[in-house]
Structures are given as structure tokens and as C-alpha cells.
Structure 1
Amino acid sequence: MARPTAIRVRNTLGRRIEEFEPFNPPLVKMYVCGPTPYDYTHIGHARSFVAFDGIKRYLQLRGYDVYHIQNITDIDDKIINKSRETGKSWREIAYTYTRDYLEALKQLRIRIDVHPRVTDHIKEIVEFTEKLIEKGYAYVAPSGSVYFDVDKYPGYGELSGRKNKESWTQEEEYAREKKNPYDFALWKAAKPGEPYWESPWGKGRPGWHIECSVMSIKYAGGRLDIHGGGMDLIFPHHENERAQSEAYLGTSPWVKYWLHTGYLTIEGEKMSKSLGNIIALRDALREWGAGTLRLWLLSGHYRTQLEYSEQSLNQARRLLSRLRDAAFKLQKRLAEDEPIHYIQGKDLEVIREIDSIILEWHREMSSDFNLAGALRQAWELTNLYYREIEHSESRALLYKAYQALIQMNKVYAVLDDILAPEEAARPEEDLLGGIIDLVVEVRGELRKRKMYDLADTIRARLAELGIQLLDQKDKTTWRWNR
């Protein structure tokens, strides 16, 4: 089979197609903006997370070593506002919805290498801000807030394509204390009743944008090959990230390729809380299953708008059924049938058809990760299977089709329990982990109600079973102690 074509991507910075060549191949450092956990994760979030997981998996298939960082913004205005609305602490809000997000990732088979949280990096954020002040890129306002001086960074607006300074205006509630209406906060002075941390400028908390710069630079060690997120983050979030990171590092580019996913829409409208058209991811997983959702979310080019509809989800469900049926039957045949070394002419033709399908699948994936075009080839493979392969006596043909499914599944991850059961989580292990999580959650409630004797009994019994509890200020985690 011929070598797959070179990978080409559309870089948001410059809006052009470029050949993919990371800074230090085969290593690819990829940072994707994660959630602000103030509500349940919805399928609009999943669109971005699954798309970048598919991109990561394809790069791995092509031989790259992808190091994937995805943050959790566990302190933000939205979390504080939710705390006020519900009467729950901001830490409880962040903890509850972070758990929902992590459980969704687990079901969707998305694995993140580093999952940093903002509140664990306050010290680094303060140090980052101090350096920007020292270098003349930031200033301290009388309130104790710190702002980035946008005029000091000449490339501002290039990522978003906004050239008019009037269109840069942001954080208007702080306009009176900023030099320019478009300067943005690195550190926000504490307001009454809000959570805060100590800093050289007084009590406060991080601005929205600085956290991603700090955590990505810390864990990537400097520059990134890919920075991803939804297209709604291009301005101001990614524009501000780029400005402060390149100012801090003193180098450009900080990010080699900026990639952005399109919106997920319902009846032509972007999914949003204000329109009331949010679909919680946990509800969608319950109704459709993780495999169907993965295939559906990978059915459109990552940069395009994806429309939610039961028709498209039913198509994904049908394709999942065909792929799983073919994989199961092929594995069973290959395990039971005796080898037949002679290949008939017709079987050779089908083998070449499989080669063509896989090559076209690679061409689509190599063309700016065209997930939609690639998925059409998955349909073609199942069509060919039922038409020419299912009842073939040629072991070589069966094996060829099986290997094609293995390649495709490296991206789709919906056949792991059939094709690579050693890599798939065993259901009983998932169930046991869920039960332990539940026990830990119940113990946490007991501690809140000051029922410490019963909480200590649970800790002791779990310890006897080899489960160690790790109590922290705002949460409890567990691990096997064996």
C-alpha cells in the first residue's frame, strides 16, 4: 500500500493551509481549552473535546507522540455567580460539575495526559504576572487589579483578524481604571464576598485568560505545536493568551498551529443557555450511548457547524452497528477458520478495493483532519464487507478487512472491546470504581453534617479493603493501596 499523504492543516493564524511539521517531531505538544465547571457538561462542549481527541488519535496513528494538556477552569465569574444563585460554596460547584465532566470523558474514551486546575496554580499565575509587569507589558491599577497593556504587543488582533482597535474593547465594567478599554485583566482585585488569594498587589484572583498561558507553558515547557478550542474562544480568549504568552516568553510563535472547532447547533441556532436549547451530555450518553455519540461528533469536519438531529444520530447508530457487526464476525472467522493460502482473482480485486478505501480515508484525515470525508470511507468499508467479504473463504481478504477496521478504530475508538479488549476498561472495574466514588461522596456528606464517627468507620473499612482515602481541604480522592 502506498504511503499516506503529508498532513496539512488550516491554521487560524493567517487563515491558510500549511503542511504539518511540529517543532520537534515526532513529539506534538497539544493544549486544548477545557471547561469552566459551573453547570453540567453539554454536547456542545463534547463537540470540541471529541474532535481534538480524534485529531490526537490520528496523529498517533501516523507515528507522532502526542502530549495532550487540557485545563479545568475551577474559579471564574460563572462559578461565583452560580454559587450565589444556589447558596452552595464555589468549591462545591466546581467539584460537582468537574466530576460530571470527567465521567463524560471516561465514557467517551477521551484520555488527557495532564488535566491541570487553575486553583492549583495560583503561585505560578502570580509569578507570571510579576514577570509581565517587570518586562513592561502589564500595569497595576489603584484597585490592585493588574492589566495587560495591549498597545505594547504589536501583533494583537492578528489571530482573530480584528484590525480595528474599537472592536477590541473588553471587560467594560473595569474601563475606568484601565489605560485603554481593550486592555484585559491578568489579576482581579477581590470584591466583597468573593474568593481570593494573596498577591503582591493585594487580595484577588486570576483573570480568565492568564490561567491557560501559565498552565500550558508550565506543562509543555514553553512552546506548543497545537492550541485548540471552540471558535468562540478565538476572541478574546486566545487572542489574549497569544499576546501575554509571547510577551512572557519573548519569542514568536508561541503556538505553531491554532485549530478551532465549529459550533454545534440545534435548528440552526447555536447551543446556549439563554436560548434554552442545551442538551446535557450525560442525558445524551444515556439516550444514545458513547459509541453513537463519538461517531456522530466525528461525522462533520471539525471546523464546520454541526447540526444536532435525531436523523444524523440514528445514522451514526446504524454505522456503529455495522462496524461492530463486521468486527465481531471477522474476529470470529479469523479465530476459527483454517488458513487458505490461495487467493482467487476476485478476492484480489476486493483486497485492492480495501487498499483504496484506506488510502482515501488517510487522504481525508490528512487534509486538515476532514473527519466527514473520512467517515464516508468507513461507510464504504462496511458496504464492501456485506457485499463481498462477509461470506468469502479467503483468509487473506478477511485479515485485510480486519486490519482496515483496526486502523479506522484508532480514531473512532468504538471497537476497542472487540479488536483490542486488553485496552478496553472492563465493565466490572468501571462498576467497582463507581461504587467507591459513591461511598466517598456519602462519607463527604457525613463529614459536612459533623457525623465524624461514622465517616471514620467508612475510612477504616475501606482501608481494610485496600482503598486509601486522601482528604484535602475541599475534596476527597481515593487510590488502591496495594
Structure 2
Amino acid sequence: MKLHIYNTLSRSVEEFKPRLEGKVDMFVCGQTPYDDAHLGHARNYIVFDVVVRWLRHLGYDVRYIQNITDIEDKIINRAKERGITAEELERYYEKRFLEDMEAIGVKKNVTQYLRSHDYIDTMVMQIQMLLDGGYAYQIDSDIYYDVDKFVDYTKLSGMKLEQLKEHRIEPREGKRNVYDFALWKGSKPGEPSWKIKLRIGGNEIEFVGRPGWHIEDTAMTYAVFGPQYDIHGGASELIFPHHSNEIAQAEAAFGKVPFVRYWMHAGVLNVNNIKMSKSLKNFITIREILGKYDAEALRLLMVSTHYRKEINYTERLIKEAQEKLDYMYNSMGVLYNAKEGNDAEGNDLAEKAVKLDSRFEELMNADFNTSVAVMELFGAFSDIRSYFESNRSIGHSNKETVYKSLLKCAGALGLLESDAYKTGLEDEAMELIKTREKLRVQKKFEDADRIRQELLEKYGLALEDTEYGTIWFKKRSRDKVD
């Protein structure tokens, strides 16, 4: 089965064909560390972590890079508010951001995090190329990109030029067009700055300032990948102006079209139907959530919706995700610790696992349809619970088939990475759980409650009855970040 990806640039699902056979270069817009990362950020980075996991599962050698925007107005302004340097503020929140990414299982799959300030020379080179090509112009101590000179400026967004005026535009007296954007900004007192030299009209002129936001990403990817690469990912809100500006800069400077072969965009995460945003102060940090729920529960919530769709976050959603995750771990524990019997036992379960492998592969190759893939995976765990309601053992080969299938599929989503399920339950405890389930079906709730209490007192087992079934666990430690 071949991988197909929805390409924002073509507005269609395309068969994935990287530039070089067996190799994929992928860039995802990273963090601007001026505050703690929130659930909207988690959604974006989890989405593309799953993409990278699947590409590597398919056998691709993936170079996956993210940038750290350590030069930006928000960092400078927040640092001024706190009376510290921009570097001090950025380093503090960068460290916390990387801790968050490690906690949610993302950091280990990123090949490299690149800091913007390390690529000033490449940015200057690209600005000079744009000046030489007639795509940029000077206003005092600033350099701006002349959007009218780039014919295909709206090819990614699909908007008309007159529509651009309705979106976020950088105000600046002297701009040729309202939608022109800064490549270099003259610095103000107390701001981070660099001295650079540019040739304009046959003269070499010194500028003191800092790069514009958009030039940072194209300079970094050029330094690592060259003038063209395979996949660029990011949140859908970045299509315009950020990603549109990246294309305009890179294609005008380097001459490679398309600059990126596949543009992938993740839907935003909303709270009460409003985009989660620090500027709106309606955000929930990753750290807040990990103080109450497993990191994998957060992952499960994010992958339960197709990556291109928006998520309307509620507390109920994360609670349900935690219950589902506990159910998966419980079911995996039942399988892992099951007694082995004759070879034929569990044939049906093994056949379903083989079908799950095929179905899961089909769904992931269809533009990463994790929402349905999660449903199929959850169904497999329900099958395990049903099987062991009436069977005490399973054949060794069948057990291995089911076990490996579940781990492979769950692992592609970043789930079941803890080995908590390997701790088995005593036979008597398992029998008590089954007896309690029968009593609940018979609506003998008082007798069922007595068994619940016995399980807690005798075996330290907590039981929770959910719409997905009864889950039991000796509380697993949450993945917290202080």
C-alpha cells in the first residue's frame, strides 16, 4: 500500500513521492519560547510526531527538524515586562518547552532543534539574493519583501490579493504594498541586534537590527536541506501569512519550484469554539494537563480526531481519553499475563489481529486517518476482553500474533509505551472482577460493591465503571513535569 497525503498546495490527496528514494526531509514550525507551551501546541507537535513515526515505520530515513524562534517581538516584549534580557527569558522557556516535548513523547523523534540566531549569516545571504533579484527594497533601516514582484504569492492560501488586507498586516510607513513584509528590522534600544552589510544600488550599507520572522525558517531549512525539501508541517493558521511568505522568499531567492513538495496543515484546537491562544488568555498548558492525566491520554485525545480537523477541547474529552487509555492498558495486561494453552486456542483472536494490521496500515496510508485507526485499535482491545470472559488460556503463537500487532499499531500513535501492563493480576482477583461484572449485569449492585471493596482492600485494585467497560488498576504514576 502506498502512502497518500493531502497537499495544501494542490488542495488534493496525492501519492507521496519524496525527492530521494527512501529519504524524507521534513520541517515543522517550532516554538517561540516566551511562555509555557499549551494544548494547541501539543496538538500540532503530536500530529507531526505521528507522521514521522509512520514514515519511519514505512522504512524511510527521515530528517525531522523544528526551529526554535529565539528572536521575536513577543520574547522581547515579555522580557521587558519582567526586567530581564530576551535571552534569559527565551532560554528559560526553551528548556521548559523541551521538557514538555520529552514528556509527551515528541522530542525523541526530532532529529534536531535549530535556534534562529545561529543562522543569521544564511538569512543575510538570502536577503541579499532577494535584493539582487529585485524582490526586496529598503526603507531606512528596514528591508521589505515586494509581494507584487512574486506572481504566485497566493497559491498556498488560495486568497485574492485584495483579501490579504483583511488579515494580519505589519504597519509601516513607506511600504509599497500593505501586505509587504519585513525581511530585516532596524533595532530599537535594548533589543537584541546584529550588524550586517548588504549591497544596495552598488553600495555596501551597514544595518543594525534583527531578522523578520518569516526569513528565519527558510534560511534554516536551506542551511540543512538545501533549496527544496519534502514535507513542511504546521498549524492551519500559518498558511497565511507565514507559510505564504516562506514560499515567496524561498522560490524567489533559490529558484526551486515548488520550494516544498508537500504542505501539511493541522487543524487548530479550540476552547468553547474559540482558538486556544495565549493572546486570548484561554489556554491550558501542557504542564497543567500532565499534572492530572497521563501524557498518553493527551496523545490519545489528539489522535482521535483526524489531523486536518479542528478539536473543540473540553475537560470531558480528556477524561474520556484517560478512561480509554486505562482500558487499553488493562486489556493489554489481560493478554500479556494470560496462561498459554493448546495451539488452537485464540485462533479467531489472531485472525482478527492480522486483519487489524492490514486495516491499520490502510488507514494510516490514507492521509493518516488516525481517528478511524484508533477506533479499530480500541475494538481489538474489546475483543481481547470478550475472549477472556469465556476463555482461561490462549495458544502461544496466537498470543504472540495478537500482542505484536497491538504494540505495533499502538506504537505508531505513541501509545502503550509504558510496560505497566506487564504486572499481572492474581487469578483470584481476575475471577472476582469477572464475578462482579456478572453481578452488575444482573443489577445486584450491593453484591458488586462488596466485591469492589474486597478488591481494593485485599489486592490494592481500584475499579472504575465507564461507558467503555470496567477498568482496574493499581494507580500508574502520571507523567508529570514540575
Shorter-chain TM-score: what band?
0.7 to 0.9
**Which residues in structure 2 correspond to 1:373-392 (within 5 Å)?**
373-388=372-387, 391-392=392-393
In terms of mean alpha carbon deviation, does 184-193 or 67-76 score higher?
184-193
- 1:394-425 alpha-carbon deviations (Å, 9 max, x no partner): 1122111111112113322232342999xxxx
Is 1:109 the counterpart of 2:110 in the alignment?
A: no
Residue number in structure 2 paired with 1:424: none
Which among 191, 196, 205 is matched to residue 194 of structure 1? Answer: 191
TM-score by length of 2: 0.81
Residue number in structure 2 paired with 1:425: none
Q: 1:190: Cα distance to partner?
A: 1.3
- 1:83-102 alpha-carbon deviations (Å, 9 max, x no partner): 12221211111111111110
Structure 1 residues 208 and 169, CA, compared in 2 at 3 Å: closer, same or farther?
farther
Residue number in structure 1 paired with 2:448: none
Residue number in structure 1 paired with 2:158: 161
Which among 287, 293, 298 is matched to residue 298 of structure 2? Answer: 293
5+ residue gaps, structure 2, are 198-205, 423-478
Is 1:175 the counterpart of 2:180 in the alignment?
A: no
Give the letter aligned to residue 383 of structure 1: S
Which among 77, 85, 91 is matched to residue 89 of structure 1? Answer: 85
Give the letter aligned to residue 290 of structure 2: L
Is 1:268 the counterpart of 2:265 in the alignment?
A: no
Is 1:368 the counterpart of 2:328 in the alignment?
A: no
Residue number in structure 1 paired with 2:141: 144
Give the letter aligned to residue 131 of structure 2: I
SS in 1 for 2:113: coil
In terms of mean alpha carbon deviation, does 392-401 or 113-122 score higher?
392-401
Residue number in structure 2 paired with 1:27: 23
Q: 1:330: Cα distance to partner?
A: 3.5
Q: Measure, in 1, the Cα distance between the counterparts of 2:127 and 2:380.
A: 53
- 1:36-84 alpha-carbon deviations (Å, 9 max, x no partner): 1111111111100000001111111121222101000011011111112
Residue number in structure 2 paired with 1:400: 401
Aligned residues: 415
Structure 1 residues 132 and 164, CA, compared in 2 at 3 Å: closer, same or farther?
closer
Q: Measure, in 2, the Cα distance between the counterparts of 1:393 and 1:372.
A: 30
Q: Measure, in 2, the Cα distance between the counterparts of 1:239 and 1:168.
A: 14
Residue number in structure 1 paired with 2:181: 184
Residue number in structure 2 paired with 1:410: 411
Give the letter aligned to residue 116 of structure 2: V
- 1:282-314 alpha-carbon deviations (Å, 9 max, x no partner): 111111121111111111101101121222212
Residue number in structure 1 paired with 2:462: none
Q: 1:14: Cα distance to partner?
A: 2.0
Contact 1:229 1:260 in 2 (8 A): yes
Q: Measure, in 2, the Cα distance between the counterparts of 1:53 and 1:37.
A: 20
Q: Measure, in 1, the Cα distance between the counterparts of 2:420 and 2:121.
A: 45
Q: Measure, in 1, the Cα distance between the counterparts of 2:104 and 2:226.
A: 29
Give the letter aligned to residue 65 of structure 1: D
SS in 2 for 1:175: coil
Decide which structure has the larger Cα Rg and report it. Answer: 2
SS in 2 for 1:248: helix
**Which residues in structure 2 correspond to 1:71-470 (within 5 Å)?**
71-110=67-106, 111=108, 112-141=110-139, 143-167=140-164, 174-200=171-197, 201-333=206-338, 337=340, 340=342, 342-343=343-344, 347-388=346-387, 391-418=392-419
Q: 1:168: Cα distance to partner?
A: 5.1
TM-score by length of 1: 0.81
Q: Once superposed, which parts of structure 1, at least 4 consecutive aligned residues long, lie more than 6 Å away?
A: none
SS in 2 for 1:176: coil
Contact 1:12 1:260 in 2 (8 A): yes
Q: Measure, in 2, the Cα distance between the counterparts of 1:244 and 1:419.
A: 49
Q: 1:260: Cα distance to partner?
A: 0.5
Contact 2:27 2:66 in 1 (8 A): yes
- 1:409-464 alpha-carbon deviations (Å, 9 max, x no partner): 3322232342999xxxxxxxx99xx9xxx9xxxxxxxxxxxxxxxxxxxxxxxxxx
Q: Measure, in 2, the Cα distance between the counterparts of 1:173 and 1:337.
A: 68
Q: 1:352: Cα distance to partner?
A: 2.0
Give the letter aligned to residue 134 of structure 1: D
Q: Measure, in 1, the Cα distance between the counterparts of 2:300 and 2:210.
A: 40
Q: Measure, in 2, the Cα distance between the counterparts of 1:403 and 1:138.
A: 56
SS in 2 for 1:398: helix
Q: Measure, in 2, the Cα distance between the counterparts of 1:372 and 1:416.
A: 19
- 1:14-35 alpha-carbon deviations (Å, 9 max, x no partner): 2111111111121111100001
Contact 2:332 2:421 in 1 (8 A): no
SS in 2 for 1:93: helix
Q: 1:173: Cα distance to partner?
A: 5.2
Q: Measure, in 1, the Cα distance between the counterparts of 2:412 and 2:394.
A: 29
Residue number in structure 1 paired with 2:61: 65
Give the letter aligned to residue 104 of structure 2: L
Q: Measure, in 1, the Cα distance between the counterparts of 2:359 and 2:314.
A: 27
Contact 1:292 1:316 in 2 (8 A): yes
Q: Measure, in 2, the Cα distance between the counterparts of 1:270 and 1:328.
A: 38
Q: Measure, in 2, the Cα distance between the counterparts of 1:199 and 1:174.
A: 24
Residue number in structure 2 paired with 1:460: none
Q: 1:123: Cα distance to partner?
A: 1.7
Structure 1 residues 367 and 173, CA, compared in 2 at 3 Å: closer, same or farther?
closer
5+ residue gaps, structure 1, are 422-429, 439-482
RMSD: 2.4
Contact 1:358 1:377 in 2 (8 A): no
Contact 1:224 1:256 in 2 (8 A): yes
Q: 1:152: Cα distance to partner?
A: 1.9
Q: Measure, in 2, the Cα distance between the counterparts of 1:172 and 1:319.
A: 44
Residue number in structure 2 paired with 1:52: 48
Q: 1:174: Cα distance to partner?
A: 4.2
